[in-house]
Amino acid sequence: MAKKFQNFIDGKWCDALSGKTFENRNPANWDEVIGTFPKSGKEDVDLAVKAARRAFEKWRLVPAPKRGDIMRRVGDLMVARKEELARQMTREMGKVLAETRGDVQEGIDTAYYASSEGRRLFGATVPSELPNKFNMAVRVPIGVAGVITPWNFPMAIPTWKIFPALLSGNTVVFKPASDTPATATSLVEILLEAGVPGGVINIVHGGGGEVGMGIVGHEDVDLVSFTGSTSVGKKISEVAAGTLKRVSLELGGKNAQLVMDDADLDLALEGVLWGAFGTTGQRCTATSRLILHEKIYDRFMGMLLERTKNLRVGDGLQPNVDVGPCVNEGQQKTVVSYVEIGLAEGAALACGGHIPSGPGLAKGWFHEPTIFTGVKPSHRIAQEEIFGPVLSVIRTGSLAEGIEILNGTVYGLSSSVYTKNVNAAFQAVRDIKAGITYINAPTIGAEAHMPFGGVKQTGNGHREGGWTVYDFFTEWKTVYVDFSGGLQRAQIDNY
């Protein structure tokens, strides 16, 4: 019998008030049920938000270094459970074990970074324009944070949001993706074991329409952090505007790797293979477009096709597998539909393009790594986020043209340029319109202590990761201390 999981609200594990549940299955073997989870509604969200509001009044008064001590213990517990968490994650969403171990490690790094921020959370002191007066600005927690996360990084991305939210003194209502609720539950269990009080962290399972939008629309939620599609992000922004919530949106991408004629082609090859087909292409930072200088186009394509055709598709728990399944049937169908779109637009299918068959593949949502050539920058497969193992190859004659093609989408998350020319590298850094630019590295590979996010329709300007995420989860409070003993009037002409 499949394991039964529950919500965690106000310090107690509980079912959805409706009693409804949904199943969580292994995308590499759809017959395997990992567990059943509460199919919650807005009533469950309301209970969680009220619990978080009550808990906030005590949690905000816990000294930040003490909250940091809890984050350090979270990191220690994640280290001890790393392999268990990685295997659970692979069963839930499919990516290969080496990647899920990396997902957990990202969470560990984020925990230790958050721990150190507990002894910083820097404010500022500045001179006053008046005598015998002291000016400073300090950070204070905001209140109840709604955290809504995707399935492709079911440990790393929740930690990017929850750890800084808690460290800053906020309480959290957490809605994980319905495709990865078990990993999310494990994270909450670790937080509780480390010493986070009940009510400070709450998890409510269920669908985006009921639970996710229930959080966004709740009048007592003060801020929302969401990672997901641009279309959903726009809806969240609209609903949150009704209560003037602070909202952080990390949305879609259509990232490109530009390879110049002086590049190290072997290095660029490793980069595009990892960027395009790592996580089965199911990353917001995935390399979805490859822009090749015409002088190295034929040579590089020969190298790329040879390596891509040898990538092994299968269950991510099995050794020597390179590419796992799509997360579910709907995502597999999306990939299939974009292959059809590419062919209809006149692009050439250079390799892949099919649902594979073979031992161990019949019960999973697998798709071959796929490469299109003859792609025009205006083609839909070069403009729209696919979120699957599909790479569109575009030819360019110069750096300037390549950058223009790279910039020519509504997204601006990650970018990559391979060149040995330092002048070209810095020109690319200057002119590429993206939140992240890699030189001689793939479009994927964010580090926990650096800002993460994009421009244009990739987000609304906030950054996760590093020191910048603490700007989102804290409010600035300006403090004036006048010790003159008399009324001093600022904003009056004293000159």
354-371: average pLDDT: 97
318 pLDDT higher than 80: yes
Q: Phi then psi for 460, rounded to 5 degrees? A: -115, 25
Measured on CA atoms in the order 335, 340, 341, 347, is the torsion positive or negative?
positive
Of 18, 38, 124, give the one whose Cα is nearest residue 477.
124
Of 417, 432, 405, 453, give the one whose Cα is nearest residue 272.
417
Please report, for residues 295, 370, 449, the alpha-carbon distance to residue 298 in angstroms, rounded to integers and kept in the order given: 8, 18, 39
Instruction: Give the chain's largest Cα–Cα span.
Output: 85
Per-residue model confidence as pLDDT tens digits over 40-90: 999 999 999 999 999 999 999 999 999 999 999 999 999 999 999 999 999
Task: State how far the Cα of 402 lies from the Cα of 75, in Å rounded to an integer.
Answer: 42
> Residue 14 catalytic?
no
| Residue that is written with structure tokens 């950054």 in the block | 463
Q: Phi then psi for 382, rounded to 5 degrees? A: -105, 0
Per-residue model confidence as pLDDT tens digits over 92-119: 999 999 999 999 999 999 999 999 999 9
- Pairing verdict, β 414-418 and 370-373: unpaired
The tokens for 334 are 């999306």
- Pairing verdict, β 246-250 and 223-227: parallel
CA angle 321, 325, 326 (to 5 degrees): 150
Confidence class of residue 2 from pLDDT cuts 50, 70 and 90? confident
493 pLDDT higher than 90: no
Kindly state the DSSP code that residue 323 receives in the 8-state scheme: B
Of 157, 76, 69, give the one whose Cα is nearest residue 448.
157
| Residue that is written with structure tokens 């590049």 in the block | 263
Of 282, 276, 285, give the one whose Cα is nearest residue 305.
276
The tokens for 482 are 């006048």
Confidence class of residue 494 from pLDDT cuts 50, 70 and 90? low
| Residue that is written with structure tokens 């965690």 in the block | 8
Element (H, E) at 12: strand 12-14
Per-residue model confidence as pLDDT tens digits over 291-307: 999 999 999 999 999 99
> Residue 284 catalytic?
yes
The tokens for 376 are 């025009």
Domains of the chain: 3-251+459-478 (3.40.605.10), 255-439 (3.40.309.10)
Query: Is-contact 158 174, C-beta < 8 A?
Result: yes
Confidence class of residue 1 from pLDDT cuts 50, 70 and 90? confident
Q: Single out the catalytic residue among 99, 106, 117, 284.
A: 284
Strands of the sheet containing 29-38, edge to edge, are 3-4, 29-38, 21-26
| DSSP per residue, 300-321 | HHHHHHHHHHTPPBS-TTSTT-
Task: State how far the Cα of 107 lies from the Cα of 154, in Å rounded to an integer.
Answer: 10
The tokens for 137 are 């600005």
Task: State how far the Cα of 210 lies from the Cα of 230, in Å rounded to an integer.
Answer: 19
The tokens for 1 are 């019998």
Q: Exposed, middle or buried: residue 195 (CB in 10 Å: 0-12, 13-18, 19+)?
A: middle
What is the per-residue pLDDT for 10?
98
Of 208, 161, 167, give the one whose Cα is nearest residue 187.
161
239 pLDDT higher than 70: yes
> What is the average pLDDT score of the chain?
97
Q: Single out the catalytic residue among 99, 250, 368, 464.
A: 250
